Chains A and B, each alone.
Chain A
Amino acid sequence: MKALYALYPDGQSAQHAVNRLRAAGLADREITVLSSQPLDDYEIGQMDKATWMWWIASGGGLLGMTAAIGLAWLTQTSWPIDTGGLPTFAWWPSLIIMFELTMLGAILATVTTLAVGAGLGPSSKLYDPEVSDGKILVGVENPDTKGGDLEAALSAAPGAQIKRI
């Protein structure tokens, strides 16, 4: 992988660099921004914010509840004890099992969505360990022929430390 990137000491400089890259014709999906903390105070921190995670978590909860109903029904009707005319499958005491598995379903769905949505797992994408020291990385992976323009855009912001791999 080839990449051109710069490290910035603060969010303002990084925001400036991203604005310059956009002005140079790059789309947001072509720009890599890495930081050691959420950049909620800057516009760059709002990139790629939309997520279906709440809905998927709700779906996971529904799935968990369905599994709980099935489990409770199966186990109670598999051994149909004479309950004196009362229903063999009892809702009230099964509600607790249903509640717990509903929540478990929502939790597992959330974590799965996080792992998939955030692209967790082994990766060979652009990274610099100095990000852990608080620097903010702004760069472009596999830059095309506009290398000179990109370098100019990245170096325009104050405190830029240009690197190339």
Chain B
Amino acid sequence: MSLSTIQRVNRDLLRPLLHTSWRFYLLVAFFGGIVLTALAAWMSQAYFGFGITGIRWPIYWGFYVTSFVFWIGISHAGTLISAILRLVNAGWRRPVTRCAEVITVFALMIGAMFPIIHLGRPWLAFWLFPYPSERQIWPNFRSPLVWDFFAINTYLTGSVLFLFLPMIPDFAVVRDKSTGLRHRIYKMLALGWRGTPRQWHRLETAMAIMAVVILPVAVSVHTIVSFDFSMAPVPMWQTTIFGPYFVAGAIFSGIAGLVIAMAVLRRFLHLGDYLQPVHFQNLGKLLLVMSLLWGYFVFNERLVTYYGNEPSEMAVFWQTQREEFAPLYWTMVVCNFVLPLVLMGIRRFRTITGCVIASIGVIVGMWLERFLIIVPALGHKYLPYSFGSYRPQPVEFIVAGATFAAMTLMYVLFAKVVPIISIWELKTGPSGQPPIATGELRLGHADAQWAKAGDGRSTARAWPRHADEDGPRAR
């Protein structure tokens, strides 16, 4: 990459950090206001008690646990996508990885809040922690809730570090480009980074190890979240398919969240040269694959239940297929399967707009999926005397809805203080390979391009030189 291109990359990606427009303050005020409203609603819930919510016997898990599972699922966007693409050294990942990793960290933070929001007496949340109390009563280590505690905290720690480590060289760039207080802050964050070959090797090795380690942790997290359900003797919950079903759903919703975040960043931070249509097309293809996988799991789950014809399970089954919850169920099927299949399956619809529409549908559909796993089953457990229904109350709508505002707010603040696209990774790449994806980097297309060159020794040499020389957009 030429010096002028490097300087342009620095300039483009540091612009949001070094210059603040009125739109930033407006966004912060708007989303901050929603978050404060939700905080007030939650405090009123703590003051008046759970009577002001719709959570009551027999359905003790409503919007809050739905949101917990949903946000933990969204968190799979970043680390999984980023780690997999890093391990396979996919060139097109470079502008995408940090956008994705940020989602992981913030979604996990939001998800991890819900067990506390869901407590009637949140000030006793520390009872969940494995500490040696004076009564020698430890949390039950065999409980899936304690598994959650360990899994989520391990994943959160790993994800924060996985996000932070590649930010160090970028903090050094900001340090060098800023003055005054900002310079001092970024100097601290850069941890004395200079960019010696030793530092680069150690960083790349650390990222490779982190990618290897974080992948099974990410899979374990959502498997364990699924254990919260599948370990309980509740109709439609106790099934061996829940682990992979939840993981697939998590990746599915995570990709959708990433596409939406990237589209917003592209538009509002003017990052069109970096987040190109090819990135959306690639993620759109992944979305399509995950949609098919999701459909496969749902088909498995439903067909096996139907064929088994076990009365307690059939009671829940029909609730979702043609009774009280049927409108939500079929909306979910349309959003998670039909919409992505049409929009991502047909090439001409696989545009940025198409990807965003499909992703919004998937987000809605996946939230409904979590809701439909929890509520109909709890409301129809075995004996009719224990049947009940759930009517969410305003406080639950406000708190659950505000999590989307919280996510946006944190994302906006993050993009204000950290380059949202990894600057050094953008500059990196084998010689001849363009630093930023071009049309030839489409999934399933790159190999064909490289094969055409017929250079078995170094595929990188087969890349058109102009793409390397001409900067962010191959013109």
Interface residues of A (CB under 8 A from B): 9, 32-41, 44-49, 51, 53-54, 57, 71-72, 75-76, 78-79, 90, 93-94, 96-97, 99-101, 103-104, 106-108, 110-111, 113-115, 117-123, 125-127, 129, 131-135
Contact in complex: B201, A96 (CB < 8 Å) = no
Contact in complex: A54, B213 (CB < 8 Å) = no
Contact in complex: A132, B176 (CB < 8 Å) = yes
Chain A neighbourhood of B194, CB < 8 A: 34, 123, 125-127, 131
A129 to B7, CA, bound (A): 13
Q: A104-B157, A132-B10 are in contact. Are A54 and B138 (CB under 8 A)?
A: no
Contact in complex: A132, B173 (CB < 8 Å) = yes
Q: A34-B195, A36-B427, A93-B141 are in contact. Are A103 and B165 (CB under 8 A)?
A: no
A45 to B204, CA, bound (A): 12
Interface flag for B191 (CB, 8 Å)? yes
Interface flag for B15 (CB, 8 Å)? no
Q: A103-B213, A110-B210 are in contact. Are A120 and B192 (CB under 8 A)?
A: yes
A101 to B176, CA, bound (A): 38
A77 to B209, CA, bound (A): 35
Q: A104-B157, A134-B427 are in contact. Are A90 and B142 (CB under 8 A)?
A: yes
Across the interface, B168 reaches (CB within 8 A) one of A79, A108, A120, A126, namely A120
Chain A neighbourhood of B161, CB < 8 A: 107, 111
Chain A neighbourhood of B192, CB < 8 A: 119-123
Contact in complex: A53, B141 (CB < 8 Å) = no
A-B contact count (CB 8 A): 172
Chain B neighbourhood of A117, CB < 8 A: 198, 202
Interface flag for B249 (CB, 8 Å)? no
| Chain A binder among B143-151, B355-363, B382-390 | B143-151
Q: A51-B202, A97-B141, A134-B1 are in contact. Are A120 and B197 (CB under 8 A)?
A: no
Mark each residue of chain B from 226 to 250: 1 if its CB lies under 8 Å from any CB of chain A, else 0. Answer: 0000000000000000000000000
Contact in complex: A79, B197 (CB < 8 Å) = no
Interface flag for B400 (CB, 8 Å)? no
Interface flag for B421 (CB, 8 Å)? no
Interface flag for B300 (CB, 8 Å)? no
Contact in complex: B138, A75 (CB < 8 Å) = yes
A43 to B161, CA, bound (A): 30
Across the interface, B428 reaches (CB within 8 A) one of A38, A107, A119, namely A38
For the complex formed, measure the closest distance between the CB of B361 and the CB atoms of chain A, giving whole angstroms.
Answer: 34
Measured CB to CB, the nearest residue on chain A to B227 is A96
A75 to B395, CA, bound (A): 38
- In the complex, given contacts A45-B197, A104-B154, what are 16 additional A-B residue pairs having Cβ atoms less than 8 angstroms apart? A35-B195, A38-B197, A39-B200, A46-B197, A51-B202, A57-B209, A72-B141, A76-B138, A76-B141, A101-B154, A103-B216, A107-B154, A118-B199, A123-B192, A123-B194, A134-B1
Chain A neighbourhood of B217, CB < 8 A: 100, 103
For the complex formed, measure the closest distance between the CB of A114 and the CB atoms of chain B, giving whole angstroms.
Answer: 4
Contact in complex: B7, A133 (CB < 8 Å) = yes
Q: Would you list which residues of chain B between 347 and 380 have a CB under 8 Å from chain A?
A: none
Contact in complex: B202, A114 (CB < 8 Å) = yes
Chain B neighbourhood of A34, CB < 8 A: 194-196
Q: Which 4 A-B pairs have the closest CB atoms?
A: A134-B6, A129-B176, A93-B142, A75-B138
Write 13 A-B pairs (CB below 8 A) sorted by A numbering: A35-B200, A36-B173, A48-B196, A48-B197, A53-B202, A78-B138, A97-B147, A100-B150, A100-B151, A104-B158, A120-B168, A133-B3, A134-B1
